[in-house]
Amino acid sequence: MNSHRFLIIGAGPTGLGAALRLEQLGQDYLVVDALADVGGMAGSVIDERGFTWDLGGHVLHSHFEFFDQAIAASDVPLNTVRRNGWVWMDGRLIRTPIQSNLDELPRDLQPDAPAHNLADYYRNNFGQALFSNFFEPYTFKMWATPLDGIDDAWVSLKSGSGERNVPLIGLAGDFVVKDAYFPYPQGGTGALWHQLQATQLDAGKFLMNTRVTDVDLGKRVATLDSGEQVQFEYCVSTAPIVTAMDWAQLSAGRGNLTSSMVYAVGLGFRGEPPEALADKTWLYSPDSDVPWYRATMLSNYDAQNAAEGCWSVLCEISTSKHRPENVTDLAQRTIDSIVRLGARAADLVDVWQRTVPMGYPVPTLGRDAVIRHIDDMLLQHGIYSRGRFGGWRYESCNQDFSFMQGAQAVDHALSGAPEDVFWHPENF
């Protein structure tokens, strides 16, 4: 049996953040990941036709010096991309945020009224018309969960800002885009994490293509799919909290922890993008006849994301028991929707599809009480369950926040330092 002071399950941003902190502190650790390459859900895939697809429409933010230093030391080239998001609704393109493109303010706003869920919050702050036409159908498409079962707190915390993530309502022309540009790694988001590992971490401390099949909490022993066992003092786990541990020992209401499944459909076309997409970074669509909730123009983030002489768009579709999808014709319906935006079907040269069984952890009502109960029990065994699904707090999981979650888990284990990034993202 091998023994390591720290076992890190998962080589995504959280696991890499933990590994980098441990490397800097000279601590013993082992990273185990079921995939062949690092990056986790922030990784990128290069398909056989030469198109690069991110596993989601990622935007790189930074709120932390530790993260900034890690990016700089990785020496990955960064593009400067102009933020240019739009809403495609009823055949029209409307600049985001949609609630700042009104000619007349709604008269049914009640911002001080109590909000018991996300549906209440949207109705109170934006009125029934915007709620019915955009916020309810779009957010349901994204989360694949009814809004009356979602906590409204995520609206203010999802982007890790002290300000509301969704800007307040305003008349057309009054809204000024903040942070109008953002950095993007050349070669896709996965290139950042690949370079970070290559330049700052010891590859000999990584076991890739290796899955953890069991964790004995009492003995602090993890069993790998090879049959090998690893003894640990502390474990930073990014495996889904609902499946990673022995639930007989963690008697908690896991029913409150729900997630959506995401289908990613990437389309590559010859030539130049149509006028409607030529300068866009992403589109949102609430319409029922458009399968995706978000379409990201990845070739506008980095021309190298598309094969030579081509452009590319990544479309994401969420589904769940609340929002079932007919997947048999999903790719064709996605193609048809992009053709409606001006793409030529005859120029289509690549269709890439990926099913992500666990796409988004949904911030359901009562979720935090469940998480805190589980977290208290896991910490008794030296286990820090963190990251998008390890911690189940999506509002704490932009790439920089996920990275810092790993570092702060290490600091807490070694010195008792607070984990504010995980529990209090609003502080940053």
Answer yes or no: are the C-beta atoms of 51 and 307 closer than 8 Å: yes
pLDDT exceeds cutoff 50 at 160? no
Mean local confidence (pLDDT), 60-87? 93
How confident is the model at residue 3, as a pLDDT? 96
pLDDT exceeds cutoff 60 at 161? no
Q: Which residues contact 106 (CB under 8 A, 6 or more apart)?
A: 126, 127, 128, 129, 130, 169
How confident is the model at residue 173, as a pLDDT? 66
Mean local confidence (pLDDT), 269-283? 97
How confident is the model at residue 326, as a pLDDT? 85
Answer yes or no: are the C-beta atoms of 349 and 309 closer than 8 Å: no
Mean local confidence (pLDDT), 167-173? 74
Mean local confidence (pLDDT), 393-416? 95
* Residue (of 66, 31, 29, 60) closest to 44 by Cα position: 60
Residue 297's alpha-carbon distances to 83, 94, 284, 313, in angstroms, are: 11, 16, 12, 4
Respond yes or no on whether the N-terminal peptide bond of residue 97 is cis (omega within 30° of 0): yes
Answer yes or no: are the C-beta atoms of 255 and 373 closer than 8 Å: no
Name the more confident of 409 and 167. 409
How confident is the model at residue 247, as a pLDDT? 46
Which DSSP letter does residue 164 get? -
User: For the chain, what percent of residues have pLDDT higher than 90?
Assistant: 76
pLDDT exceeds cutoff 90 at 179? no
Mean local confidence (pLDDT), 68-88? 95
Total-model pTM: 0.93
Q: How do residues 62-73 score in pLDDT, each as one tens digit?
A: 889 999 999 999
pLDDT exceeds cutoff 80 at 157? no
pLDDT exceeds cutoff 80 at 58? no
Q: How do residues 319-357 score in pLDDT, each as one tens digit?
A: 999 999 888 899 999 999 999 999 999 999 999 999 999
273 burial (CB, 10 Å; 0-12 / 13-18 / 19+) is buried
Q: How confident is the model at residue 168 (pLDDT cuts 50, 70, 90)?
A: confident
* Residue (of 380, 2, 59) closest to 189 by Cα position: 59
Fold agreement (2-43+188-257+363-427, 98-174): no
Q: How do residues 197-218 score in pLDDT, each as one tens digit?
A: 999 999 999 999 999 999 998 8
User: For the chain, what percent of residues have pLDDT higher than 70?
Assistant: 92
pLDDT exceeds cutoff 90 at 260? yes
Average pLDDT, the chain: 91
- Listed as own residue / partner, the contacts of 44-49 with beta carbons closer than 8 Å and 24 or more positions apart are 44/187, 44/188, 44/189, 44/190, 44/191, 45/190, 45/352, 45/354, 46/188, 47/266, 47/350, 47/352, 49/268, 49/307, 49/349, 49/350
Q: Which CATH superfamily is domain 2-43+188-257+363-427 in?
A: FAD/NAD(P)-binding domain (3.50.50.60)
CATH no. of 98-174 = 1.10.3110
Name the more confident of 256 and 372. 372
pLDDT exceeds cutoff 70 at 27? yes
Query: Cα 122–125–130 angle (5° rounding)?
Result: 60
How confident is the model at residue 159, as a pLDDT? 43
Q: How confident is the model at residue 316 (pLDDT cuts 50, 70, 90)?
A: very high
How confident is the model at residue 94, as a pLDDT? 93
pLDDT exceeds cutoff 50 at 296? yes
Domain ranges of the chain: 2-43+188-257+363-427, 98-174
Rg of the chain (C-alpha set): 22
pLDDT exceeds cutoff 90 at 418? yes
Q: How do residues 112-152 score in pLDDT, each as one tens digit?
A: 999 999 999 999 999 999 999 999 999 999 999 999 999 98
Q: Which residues contact 23 (CB under 8 A, 6 or more apart)?
A: 29, 200, 201, 202
